[in-house]
Amino acid sequence: MTRSLVLTADDAGTDPDADREIAALLAGSPLTAVGVITAHLDGEDSEQASGALRAVELVARAAPDVAPGVHVVLPNPAPPGGFDDVVDRVTAQIDALARATAAVGSPPPDRLDSHQGTLYGLSGRSYLGEAISVCARRGLAFRLPRGLELYGDDDPLLTTPDVRARHASAVAAADDAGVRLPRVIATHRGGDAEARDYATLRDRYLRLLDRLPEGTSEIFLHPAPDTARLRELSAGWWRKRTWELRLLGDPVFTREIERQGIDLVGRW
């Protein structure tokens, strides 16, 4: 069995400069996938709808065979008791991205994932059952790892019996529903302070490549160029995003993928 990797850029549709860089990366780097946000964090989605259309237009021109993922956003923090209408919220975001892809003639969305983990219930109510149900109805894959060993590095929450039991139940439900899942997922979960500097960040991602198990896994990043807008909107995180952009163009990273015989693919 081989090791395959979906290498994803998240948060497309939120910044025009980042969207242009992501599209260029899809055309000329190891990047193979993109997650597009179609709803504003504050719930007003008119501006974000135009951002999503911009992102899929750029992706369609640069990499016409790439099907975007739906990067679901729920307001965070959630209201007391959570969202009783979460299926409607998720479905509306899928439909918005489907309309955007149809408008430019690119492939429709093929997977679902969760901005800031709000579907997973790590800091509140879990919507895993609802997300899996929507994915099954719409024929979408879901960013829920079969194993937590890489995403859960140094996170005591992901080792608790309650979270492990909830995770195992969700994986079983996805299998029963025929929803495709990645073997593992991984990223750098901290901000600038935790990343420290570019060399440290690159070393972490190189180590992640070495630890990928057999099967199809995903590494997701948030690449963006250094702009005044990024510095204002992503205080405490903007340096890491620029370093992740740099990583995707770094020949050391590309050579390591090739050296390890990891197959780059667009879907799990």
Structure confidence at residue 46 as a pLDDT band (50, 70, 90): low
Angle between helices 16-28 and 238-248 (to 10 degrees): 20
> What span, in angstroms and rounded, lies between the C-alpha atoms of 148 and 166?
12
pTM: 0.94
Q: What integer pLDDT is reported at residue 157 of this predicted model?
A: 87
204, 231, 236, 237 from 194: Cα distances, Å = 11, 17, 10, 10
Domains and CATH numbers, the chain: 3-265 (3.20.20.370)
How many Å separate Cα 151 from the centre of its chain?
12
Q: Is residue 88 within a helix (H) or strand (E), and if so which, with residue range?
A: helix 86-104
Higher pLDDT, 40 or 263: 263
pLDDT of residue 75: 85
Round to whole Å and give the CA distance between 200 and 191. Answer: 13
Tell me the pLDDT tens digit for each residue of 222-266: 999 999 999 999 999 999 999 999 999 999 999 999 999 999 999
Query: C-alpha distances in angstroms, 7 versus 36, 51, 132, 219, 241?
Result: 14, 22, 22, 5, 15
